[in-house]
Amino acid sequence: MVAPPDTSEFRVAVEVLPTVVLVLVAGEVDLATAPAVAEAAHRGAAEANGDSPLVLDLSAVDYMDSSGLRMLNELRTGFGDRLALHRPSHAVVRVLEVTGMAAHFSRVEAY
Amino acid sequence: MGAGAEAVQLIHRPDVGRALSSPAAAEFVLRADRVAPRSARVALRRLALGSVAHRLLDVLLCVGEAISNAVRHAYPPGSSGEIVVKAWTHEDGLAVLVQDRGRGFDPDGDPSREGVGLRLMRRLADVVSILSRPGGGTAVLMVFRA
């Protein structure tokens, strides 16, 4: 089948700020797109100085499945306490809560 | 009771059996590749889910997980296969069948080895039945009650 035009195109962007590496994610995070989020996070961290915190802004994620969760868990393993989520959307929180993982991720309100 | 017997019992329940013997509201065939879950979600979003519209996110998640599992596990790396998705809408709920003709697995195997995707499906769908055997493909039936 041919998919109709996207209503929520996946996008990921990295901003290396003086005190934080910010990864902005929008659209759907699944099997096809989760690797790009991890790649962006690693790229941003490599550009940054030393041990900058890594903040994932997930406010515009309108779908995330277990592929996204696996990716988040891998980032958590790699970055430890440096990783924090900013405003995870309902779709993200749903998966974190149903799988019992919500408490394992730090959150930041501002960055 | 094994998962296979559970699925057969389920199909013989009057409500589920009636739903599955009627024509599917949607039926589509996907190539088992990384964009298959998304293609299925796009198709399901266009389907009037009626009685389960308020559970749309959970329906999309469960179907996406079933398809992701088929993409990741059904066919050997480098080979291609098909995934068939059928959906039945009913005033009492929604039934979705995700089927592949891949390598299959033992659904009565060690439950602690179940992936996160299957755990999500079991938590969010009202019924998840898996019919599979090594070499015989896999069928996952999910029911979402209204």
Instruction: Give CA angle at B40 (B34, B44), nearest 5°.
Output: 160
Q: What is the arithmetic mean of pLDDT over B63-88?
A: 93
| Nearest Cβ partner for A3 among B42, B57, B68 | B42
Q: What is the arithmetic mean of pLDDT over B75-90?
A: 90
CB pairs under 8 A between A and B: 61
Residue ranges of domains in chain B: 3-145
Put simply, the answer to whether B37 touches A99 (Cβ < 8 Å) is: no
| pLDDT, position A1 | 44
ipTM tops the 0.95 cut:
no
Lowest mean pLDDT among A52-66, A86-100, B88-102: B88-102
Give the CA distances from residue B78 to residues B20, B38, B75, in Å, rounded to whole numbers and listed in that order: 34, 20, 8
pLDDT tens digits, B44-58:
988 877 788 899 999
Q: Please state the pTM of the whole predicted model.
A: 0.88
Put simply, the answer to whether A98 touches B120 (Cβ < 8 Å) is: yes
pLDDT tens digits, A8-43:
689 999 999 999 999 999 999 999 999 999 999 999
| pLDDT, position A3 | 46
| pLDDT, position B22 | 77
Q: How far is B120 from chain A (nearest CA, A)?
A: 7
Lowest mean pLDDT among A62-66, A87-91, A102-106, B126-130: B126-130
Coil/strand/helix, residue B29: strand
**Domain at A11-108, CATH from 3.30.470.30, 3.40.50.10490, 3.30.750.24, 3.30.1370.100:** 3.30.750.24
Residue A68 CB-half CA count within 13 A: 28
Q: How far is A31 from chain B (nearest CA, A)?
A: 6
Kindly report the CATH class assigned to B3-145.
alpha beta
Residue ranges of domains in chain A: 11-108
Confidence of residue A4 (pLDDT cuts 50, 70, 90): very low
pLDDT tens digits, A70-110:
999 999 999 999 999 999 999 999 999 999 999 999 999 98
| Nearest Cβ partner for A66 among B34, B57, B115 | B115
| Contacting residues for B19 by C-beta, under 8 A, at least 6 apart | B88, B90, B92, B93, B95
| pLDDT, position B67 | 97
Residue A67 has pLDDT above 80, yes or no: yes
Q: How far is B16 from chain A (nearest CA, A)?
A: 26
| Nearest Cβ partner for B117 among A32, A66, A94 | A66
Residue A81 CB coordination number (10 Å): 9
Confidence of residue A50 (pLDDT cuts 50, 70, 90): confident
